[in-house]
Amino acid sequence: MNNKYLNRLWQKGAEFLGTEYAIMCGAMSWVSEHNLVAAISNAGGFGVIACGAMTPDLLLKEIQLTKQNTSKPFGVNLITMHPMIEELIGICIEQKVSHIVLAGGLPKSSSIKALKNQGVKVICFAPALSLAKRLVKLGVDALIIEGMEAGGHIGPVSASVLAQEILPHIKEVPVFIAGGIGTGEAIANYLNMGASGCQLGTRFVCSRESIAHPNFKQAFIKANARDAVASVQIDPEFNVIPVRALMNKSTDEFTKVQIEAIEQYKKGELSKIDAQLKIEKFWAGALRRAIIDGDIETGSIMAGQSVGMVKEEQTVKEILDELVLQSETALERVYSQQLISTTL
């Protein structure tokens, strides 16, 4: 298959990423490390290192290991609230990383400027049309629209609604859709709506190249979409970003941790920032226990709702080949029907 429809629709996204396919891998802490990132880039997609809470030294090592395993483009996801964000940006510039994804809040204009001055392409998340327009004005080179169907930290709006809200109005830069995407048919639909590409995370967790523990992968394979639930916000005055994960003991434990942190904040025992950090540290530790140690009882099994479409362990290449074939077949069907209707 020559992918003539796909190549036309995602040309802008593929050219921006420098890849064969305009398919990005979401930055998943502990999962999106050099093995998976390199495998995705080598197979024609775009791998992204999840920096998360890494120190500059650890990020430097991950970038170097990724370079040893691929000569293809890849990116690094940096959390804007990281206390060493400037140092991390410096490492990326020094290592000549081509693309940086700034996540976890509205990035500083100085961070965007520093990266762009060094020729780095900057990608940011846009949870609403107003923010999408603001980010474009700040000079970002591409946007990611991520819906609440995604795994990990999520916003309040679905990908399908955000796509309808944002895609018709943002033409200046490539826009990638993320959240709940598990098949090529979904990719084809978003491309037809005007997206330049898509970002998937959950589908790649069970790839053979993923270092996730076999227990973690089996939890994904056995799960249904309804098993991936969002955490509950205990106090409306205390904003905690919801996290989507498979239900287990950690789901209840997180509720207890939230209650405890909020009570300490209200008693003056913790500042609001420290209380939020306490909550975030719970997720960081619980996520490592599940992914690396295989503790799927008390660890956090972060997963998107597309987890119900993960049926087996596959290589990265098999996953990408399947997504591309499904996408092109779906597009061919749509455009063939349009051609028939115009000739009748």
Token readout for 17 is 């990423």
Predicted TM-score (pTM) of this structure: 0.94
Q: Are 126 and 143 in contact (CB under 8 A)?
A: yes
Pairing assessment for the beta strands 142-146 and 197-200 based on DSSP bridges? unpaired
What span, in angstroms and rounded, lies between the C-alpha atoms of 198 and 294?
A: 29
Q: Are 147 and 180 in contact (CB under 8 A)?
A: yes
Catalogue all structural domains in the chain, each as residue range(s) with its CATH number: 4-211 (3.20.20.70), 224-302 (no CATH)
26: left (phi over 0), alpha (psi -120 to 50) or beta: beta
In this predicted structure, what is the pLDDT of residue 302? Answer: 96
Q: Which of 223, 182, 220, 186 is closest to 201 using CA atoms?
A: 182
Token readout for 223 is 């799960």
Q: What would you report as the CA-atom Rg of the chain, rounded to the nearest whole angstrom?
A: 20
pLDDT in tens, the chain (344 residues): 689 999 999 999 999 999 999 999 999 999 999 999 999 999 999 999 999 989 999 999 999 999 999 999 999 999 998 889 999 999 999 999 999 999 988 899 999 999 999 999 999 999 999 999 999 999 999 999 999 999 999 999 999 999 999 999 999 999 999 999 999 999 999 999 999 999 999 999 999 999 999 999 999 999 999 999 999 888 877 777 889 999 999 888 888 998 999 999 999 999 888 887 788 788 889 999 999 999 999 999 999 999 999 999 999 999 999 999 999 999 999 888 776 555 54
